[in-house]
Structure 1
Amino acid sequence: MSDQQFYHALKVDKDLCYGCTHCMNVCPTDAIRIRDGVASIRKNWCVDCGECMKACPVDAFYVEQDDFEKIFNYKHRVAILPSVFIGQFSKHIKECDIIDVLKGLGFTHVVPAEATVDVINESMLEGLKSDRDKPMISAFCPSIVRLIQVRFPGLVNNIIPVKPPIDSTALYYRELLQEEGKSFDEIGVFYVTPCASKIATVKSPVGDEMSNVDGVINMDFLYNKVYHVLKTRSETTDVCQETVPYLSPKGLNWSLTDGEASHMAGRCLAIDEIHNVISFLEKVENDEIINVDFLELRACDESCAGGVLLTENRFLTVERLKNRADRIASSGKYVLNISDSHKQLIRDNIDVGSIEPRSMMVLDEDMGIALKKMERVRRMMCYLPGIDCGACGAPSCESLAKDIVRKESHLSNCVFVQRMMEKTKKLDPQHSIRIIEKTWGKDRLEKDCKKKGAKNESF
């Protein structure tokens, strides 16, 4: 298994976090612990799904992103724009106006992220014919790829090793600009991301050494900038400054739920929202799901329309994109002329490198030692109450038991065990207080009327 740590974009503002455990309880990979009264993320377990960010009542989680000013390090500044960015705007706002504002903010070129989906779809269909394990799983969502690596490592060979549109489109457009005589070093390609996981996959791509994307821009940040300009603008643009290839209906819907599955062969299923995905993958792992050829799995509810960095309501975004796709389909007015040579370039660089299992469940690399440690976990569970209250700073009693076996925690971290140890004189009450303070902070048990929900709430 790979020893390289995952890069993850989600960070915790320790000045805002007060250790409420909301994030810990929703994390699908048990990556969060409470230490010294604040949330702590285990880097190799986090898959950047953003569930913690959505659950946090005080916005203590944030996404580490590139400074927007970074785009000005390049003469030619390309925005790789996902369809869900356009889908956040009302149908009364023209795409040309959005693109015009983006160029006014500093981009010299704007290209749809899904511009290469037809080539990607062809490669995925070819992959479906291979002898890889079924059901085959899309590599579109970085959080799902990482989820499989850390929680379902036995399914890594089911992932179709075809890069998602971000990388292929960046490669394609960079090549176009170079053919126009623009220097490679003067071209900066920036992806406008709807989620944290796509930041992580640019910074630390799974299966590859580096990405074709030079930086990532927070979609929430950019949407608000564009919206503010459009709101204060009196005039609209009749014609785009530069011809932007219209996406086909397939391209517009690709990042939405069923966007891939509807264009694959055989029996295909589309599942969104990471906890739904986990429930389904457990059935796949246990051979309860049979005769399925392809799975489109997305971490967010409504797929990319539900990304944590989107501002607009996800259901409205989906409706707008589907309506737009229907209008384009009925008009037939969409053009995207990718030459045969460019298609071949994309195909030649479309394969993802080796996707390695990185199981967080493994207690030791040596199977014999791992089995002995698992037996210790089972013995520990005999003493723990099994109510998963989270008061120990771990999401469940089993998680605490495993932390103990990993020598990252102690049995006395359980408040119920503490009481029993105090009762039998095996633990001094003052030491018990120190244990609680180590998890929840020294002032946590002091009277504080300013905390959330209290009389003088300050959050």
Structure 2
Amino acid sequence: MSNNAIHHALRVDEEKCRGCCNCMSVCPTDAIRIRNGKTLIFQNRCIDCGKCYRACPESAIRVEQDDFNEIFKYKRRVALLPSILKGQFPDNFAKQRIYAELLDMGFTDVFEVGMMWRVFHLATARYIKNNQHKKPFISSFCPAVLRLIQTRFPSLLDHVIPMKAPVDIAALYYRRQLLAQGVADAEIGTFYVTPCAAKISAVKTPRPHDVKALTGVINMDYIYNRVWKRLRCEEREMPPEPLAESLCEKGVLWFLTAGESEYARGRSLAIDGIANVFEFLENMENEEISDIDFLELRSCDQSCAGGVLTSCNRFLTVERLRNRAERSRKAAPLKDPDRWDDIDDDTEYLVDHIMLGKIKPKPAMKLDEDMARAMVKMEKLQKILAFLPGVDCGLCGSPNCQALAEDVVNGDSRMQQCIFLQKKMVAGGKMKMTDAAKILDDVWGKNILDGTPIDLEDE
């Protein structure tokens, strides 16, 4: 895979797919088409938000993850957890009990990514202070939103705070702790238990000149189901707390909506749900929104609590995490998060190594690398749109008329796939019914009506 390539976690199982187009209708970036009765994902448009995964009634869209047995290649096997995992379980199961089951499954260490919240808070504050001309600032916390901006709103990239992902910093921190204990780097495996597909994509997509501290990614749903089976067994001895007495309230809530914006200075907004984010970014690009200092944008409803790889109802998860945060607040009230005089050497090191270089756009709607040819294609696209009905029915195998026009210009479709044009051409003697039927077969497959009665007059 080249440094410019993007790894995608979502895959289509063609044997299960029946071309129902539920996935195509919910995709926020028009990345899905139906071809020969099967789902086709346009990789340059996909942001791995997972809407298609959740919408598929046949479970024909799957998420690729690392094989769990990969952890046993390493002497020290570290499970990096978002607070969302604890929120999947009822409050009567202590965090220590969940850790015990993870260790019994094969991990040697457990560490919560939320411990890194202050590193990000301090680094964000410093970046904002030194780059006031780039307001409004957009958090890069959510990889699906970052990919959305890269592909559909590249003009807004200068507003994005170019930081590494929280799990990358957590992996770097814990790896440094183990190296300081004399553990060889080759013996350390760090694995993130992810609630969403976009994080798998972000981890697996190579970045040039980046030192990789994270070894792999494991589906949270897989971990949850294995732990849940064990939790229903008898009580067991609790392990010692790893590295920290407890996660503070800020670290607990960091993965929920407003986890960042609550502590941001100035006017800040927290927006969740990919459709809401898309609409807001459109308004922002059109300069309809101003006077905002900080934007926290999360792809999933209720942020990571609504991740497509979670098992529990997102609202129950949020309630449990807020209960946990309240217990943490009472046990150890949060100190001033903006103080620099009390940070340790590890925090200072991570703050200094958290920034990325310039984030490059990856536009999905690039008609041609050559500007002159792109202008010719754009003119052709506008002419095609004038012929299409504009009803966005999706029967052509593309999600809407605009997408079909783009596909035609790019050589991925034909105008004749539009059933309204087919009817008009057949009526005008420019197309035979058999030709129209063949085109529909190319889109929806030859067997889509198998089993459907032909004589419907008596029905």
TM-score normalized by the length of structure 1? 0.93
Question: Using the alignment, how far apart are the partners of 2:188 and 2:343 within structure 1?
Answer: 21
For 1:440, the equivalent position in structure 2 comes to 444
Is structure 2 residue 304 aligned with structure 1 residue 300? no
For 1:452, the equivalent position in structure 2 comes to none
For 1:375, the equivalent position in structure 2 comes to 379
Give the SS at the match of 2:134: coil
Q: Which stretch has the larger CA shift, 132-141 or 253-262?
A: 132-141
Q: Which stretch has the larger CA shift, 206-215 or 15-24?
A: 206-215
Question: Using the alignment, how far apart are the partners of 1:162 and 1:248 within structure 2?
Answer: 22
Q: Contact 1:5 / 1:44 at 8 angstroms: preserved in 2? A: no
For 2:393, the equivalent position in structure 1 comes to 389
For 2:117, the equivalent position in structure 1 comes to 117
Question: Using the alignment, how far apart are the partners of 1:132 and 1:183 within structure 2?
Answer: 44
Question: Using the alignment, how far apart are the partners of 1:365 and 1:3 within structure 2?
Answer: 19
Q: Contact 1:35 / 1:438 at 8 angstroms: preserved in 2? A: yes
Give the SS at the match of 1:382: helix
Distance 1:432 1:352, change over 3 A: same
Q: Contact 1:110 / 1:244 at 8 angstroms: preserved in 2? A: no
Q: What are the residue-to-residue correspondences of 1:292-331 with 2, within 5 Å? A: 292-331=292-331
Is structure 2 residue 431 aligned with structure 1 residue 431? no
Q: What are the residue-to-residue correspondences of 1:83-232 with 2, within 5 Å? A: 83-129=83-129, 130-204=131-205, 209=210, 211-231=212-232
Query: Which deviations, in whole Å up to 9, do the C-alpha atoms of 1:99-145 show, x marking residues without a partner?
Result: 00000000000000111110111000111121452211001000000
Distance 1:128 1:54, change over 3 A: same
Q: Could you tell me how far 1:60 is from its partner in structure 2?
A: 1.1
Q: Contact 1:50 / 1:308 at 8 angstroms: preserved in 2? A: yes
Question: Using the alignment, how far apart are the partners of 2:375 and 2:415 within structure 1?
Answer: 20
Q: Contact 1:206 / 1:353 at 8 angstroms: preserved in 2? A: no
Gaps of 5+ in 1: 450-459
Question: Using the alignment, how far apart are the partners of 2:24 and 2:210 within structure 1?
Answer: 31
For 1:454, the equivalent position in structure 2 comes to none
Question: Using the alignment, how far apart are the partners of 2:206 and 2:258 within structure 1?
Answer: 24
One-letter identity of the residue aligned with 1:313: N
CA RMSD across the alignment: 1.9
405, 427, 430: which one aligns with 1:401: 405
Query: Which deviations, in whole Å up to 9, do the C-alpha atoms of 1:328-348 show, x marking residues without a partner?
Result: 11121899xx97221132123
Q: Could you tell me how far 1:307 is from its partner in structure 2?
A: 0.2
Query: Which deviations, in whole Å up to 9, do the C-alpha atoms of 1:210-260 show, x marking residues without a partner?
Result: 6421011110000010010011x2214456365544111110000100000
Q: Contact 1:207 / 1:353 at 8 angstroms: preserved in 2? A: no
Is structure 2 residue 369 aligned with structure 1 residue 354? no
Q: Contact 1:205 / 1:211 at 8 angstroms: preserved in 2? A: no
One-letter identity of the residue aligned with 1:147: L
Give the SS at the match of 1:91: coil
For 1:8, the equivalent position in structure 2 comes to 8
Q: Contact 1:246 / 1:334 at 8 angstroms: preserved in 2? A: no
Q: Contact 2:79 / 2:192 at 8 angstroms: preserved in 1? A: yes
Q: Contact 2:422 / 2:431 at 8 angstroms: preserved in 1? A: yes
Q: Which stretch has the larger CA shift, 340-349 or 183-192?
A: 340-349
Query: Which deviations, in whole Å up to 9, do the C-alpha atoms of 1:145-194 show, x marking residues without a partner?
Result: 00000000101111101223101110000000010010000000000000
Question: Using the alignment, how far apart are the partners of 2:74 and 2:317 within structure 1?
Answer: 32
Distance 1:431 1:405, change over 3 A: same
Gaps of 5+ in 2: 336-341, 454-459
Q: Which stretch has the larger CA shift, 436-445 or 189-198?
A: 436-445
One-letter identity of the residue aligned with 1:96: Q
Q: Could you tell me how far 1:413 is from its partner in structure 2?
A: 0.8
Question: Using the alignment, how far apart are the partners of 1:101 and 1:244 within structure 2?
Answer: 19
Q: Contact 2:111 / 2:243 at 8 angstroms: preserved in 1? A: no
Q: Could you tell me how far 1:365 is from its partner in structure 2?
A: 2.5
Q: What are the residue-to-residue correspondences of 1:9-28 with 2, within 5 Å? A: 9-28=9-28
For 2:268, the equivalent position in structure 1 comes to 268
One-letter identity of the residue aligned with 2:346: H
Q: Could you tell me how far 1:208 is from its partner in structure 2?
A: 6.2
One-letter identity of the residue aligned with 1:167: D
Q: What are the residue-to-residue correspondences of 1:324-339 with 2, within 5 Å? A: 324-332=324-332
Give the SS at the match of 1:11: strand
Q: Which stretch has the larger CA shift, 240-249 or 38-47?
A: 240-249
For 1:453, the equivalent position in structure 2 comes to none
Q: Contact 1:66 / 1:215 at 8 angstroms: preserved in 2? A: yes
Query: Which deviations, in whole Å up to 9, do the C-alpha atoms of 1:53-108 show, x marking residues without a partner?
Result: 11111111110000000000001000001100001111100111000000000000
Q: Contact 1:207 / 1:355 at 8 angstroms: preserved in 2? A: no
